[in-house]
Structure 1
């Protein structure tokens, strides 16, 4: 491992190891600039492959595959880049304040360019917002597994992708359970084609999930405890739904606090998302070297990993232009295809996909997309972009030996 740091190098710093940062880091590894290094500040010790969390909240045995270490992201060469395991506390004009002392940096990281990719908060088990270690996250997944196994009448509140997938996994793995899915809208995933809604609804109906749409739940101030006990859920339409476990899968809020503190005018006051220029710079001319990408942005893109990835690449492209001496007018605007793309995985052999890979935007169901989904929900891809495929293979082999 290269341990010495070239002190003449300048830093391109990403706050948050989201999909937006991942795409950019992979491109940087392939074509880095010798006078700059890619620094990623991330509080979590391992990359969380959250796409598989709905399944891992129900089924045990593969949790470890969902947490990939960052230590080989830049092949151990600190002159290319480095992941700093720390929490960013504050953004200043020229540096980021950290919550701890980091060897080679101290308690702050200077930056020439800053990219804010801190993402959003969503309820567990879609994401574990405040858990930072691999062991903590695995323990929480196993806690969900335990209560879901004990429950006979689980109620899933909210039918975004996480709610749909969680309800499907529970019903498939425990067909005897009375699974209820509550959704405030009259259809699923309104940004997508109507055919997505129809296919998803019919798969859930076929599998026995009780779907109650078009009525909003009255949420208690403290939410619902992760315990199996009688629960009574009231709706704004005057209905009462009884069960013994309630899991909320609704609500998304941007992690905007650091940008809000330094550039409050760049925050959309209605949504809290970060306003950006077409070049992906934040909307504050005092900070032309600060960009934002991914779910935290106020953008028309659907908030999925695919578009976060593309935005991160667009940011890095403009940073390269600035490094080469380009003016503001010479930067390239991010050109989104503005298409709603997604794959909703509804159990081991069921899925509904909306894609444009064949040209026009189409939706197809399980016969094409459902039978090719690996058990770990493509976790191998994550280990690949972090250059740790060999370690995943070791984990899988060890788990196979145990079984």
Structure 2
């Protein structure tokens, strides 16, 4: 007589970006029979956002940047599933969805949860598009506008703004490209040499750089359309342009958690507060963890740190599932090291790395070699166990 397996409980991850990917690949190697991993994201594909600044300028590889989740768990639904829906409400032990999904309907119960909802930043750094086709369409709209513009201005010089300005000027050297930034230097979390190298590469490209001045934003912002505009700054400048692209502002997607657990939200910046164990700072919900860009944390908000935070949260969840106590949970060890690789065109880059031990800055001779058009999107396809080739690229 065959004994039926007991029903599995769910570990739910809200958000399907790098925090979820790190957790999912770790789970794939040591999944527990008692639980399965359920990732919920409104997007149909993993977005390889690292290449979006380039893909907003250059065409031909957009489809490679939207990676299908379907084989993330190797087709084993007892290990995990990815649900394409938007979480509309978070409860203590279940979430509600905005649409019916097979097996679950509009309600997914969970034993544990990782809140990895990330942040919002303006396109083309992140896209609101929910499908691959819509994402590609958005990137092509940026390509068309940038191609038609003669005097594009990029407003905001975080990593996306810097990379976008460099890509535009390299691909269209005849255009008058301006990068406008409110700070007096670039990327203050990093070594001064990152700022200096970045400034000099942009200068070599021919990008006009205006630092230490803030744009007076129109109430509705700047639409993605090519037409004569004047951009006014608080310093009294008037910049003549025909296309303004906003690359400023990061907003945490913390509202769902805030409704359930207001005390776990930093009231000043709306990011999620966590304990060293990656549990949210609310003792009423020891089974809810958080990871990724949505955290109020000293880690730089990059895919690398989201990835390792997701793994840390999952490992502690597995400890609890295996009978461990709160005292058995391991604190997430952040080295508080700022790591980055800025890709500034086909052959130029700036990198801050500790690969060889000490934290150092490297320029294009090291960091700018052999960068593929899709900015290493093949790695994301490998994560989901799907070849990046003609047979699969349109999945």
Pairwise TM-score range, normalised by the shorter structure:
over 0.9
Gap regions ≥5 residues in structure 2: none
Q: Does 1:11 align with 2:7?
A: no
Q: Which residue of 2 aligns with 1:76?
A: 75
SS of 1:358's equivalent in the other structure is coil
CA distance in structure 2 between the partners assigned to 1:97 and 1:177 by the alignment: 48
Instruction: Detail structure 1 runs of 4+ shifted over 4 Å in the superposition.
Output: 395-398
Cα deviation digits, residues 109-162 of structure 1 (max 9, x gap): 11000000000000000001x320111110010000000000000000000000
CA distance in structure 1 between the partners assigned to 2:67 and 2:300 by the alignment: 26
Q: Which residue of 2 aligns with 1:394?
A: 390
Seen in structure 2, the aligned counterparts of structure 1 residues 256 and 397 have a Cα distance that, compared at 3 Å, is closer
Q: Which residue of 2 aligns with 1:315?
A: 313
CA distance in structure 1 between the partners assigned to 2:107 and 2:257 by the alignment: 17
Cα deviation digits, residues 299-353 of structure 1 (max 9, x gap): 0000000100110010011001101111112211111010000000000000000
1:100-115 pair list within 5 angstroms: 100-115=99-114
SS of 1:175's equivalent in the other structure is coil
Does the aligned pair in 2 maintain the 1:90–1:96 contact within 8 Å? yes
CA distance in structure 2 between the partners assigned to 1:396 and 1:156 by the alignment: 34
Q: Which residue of 1 aligns with 2:59?
A: 60
Cα deviation digits, residues 269-288 of structure 1 (max 9, x gap): 11000111111111111100
Q: Which residue of 1 aligns with 2:295?
A: 297
Gap regions ≥5 residues in structure 1: 399-403
Does the aligned pair in 2 maintain the 1:12–1:37 contact within 8 Å? yes
The number of residue pairs the alignment matches comes to: 391
CA distance in structure 1 between the partners assigned to 2:40 and 2:164 by the alignment: 30
Q: Which residue of 2 aligns with 1:165?
A: 163
Q: Which residue of 1 aligns with 2:187?
A: 189
Q: Which residue of 2 aligns with 1:401?
A: none
CA distance in structure 1 between the partners assigned to 2:92 and 2:338 by the alignment: 36
Q: CA RMSD in A?
A: 1.3
CA distance in structure 1 between the partners assigned to 2:250 and 2:195 by the alignment: 21
SS of 1:215's equivalent in the other structure is coil
TM-score, normalised to structure 2, is 0.97
Query: Among residues 234, 253, 263, which one is paired with 2:251 in the alignment?
Result: 253
SS of 1:220's equivalent in the other structure is coil
Cα deviation digits, residues 206-255 of structure 1 (max 9, x gap): 11000000111111111001010111111111111111000000000000
CA distance in structure 1 between the partners assigned to 2:196 and 2:109 by the alignment: 51
Q: Which residue of 2 aligns with 1:270?
A: 268
Seen in structure 2, the aligned counterparts of structure 1 residues 254 and 69 have a Cα distance that, compared at 3 Å, is same
Does the aligned pair in 2 maintain the 1:44–1:131 contact within 8 Å? yes
Q: Which residue of 2 aligns with 1:28?
A: 27
1:207-226 pair list within 5 angstroms: 207-226=205-224
CA distance in structure 2 between the partners assigned to 1:107 and 1:282 by the alignment: 25
Q: Which residue of 2 aligns with 1:363?
A: 361
CA distance in structure 2 between the partners assigned to 1:46 and 1:396 by the alignment: 13
Q: Which residue of 1 aligns with 2:380?
A: 382
Does the aligned pair in 2 maintain the 1:65–1:396 contact within 8 Å? no
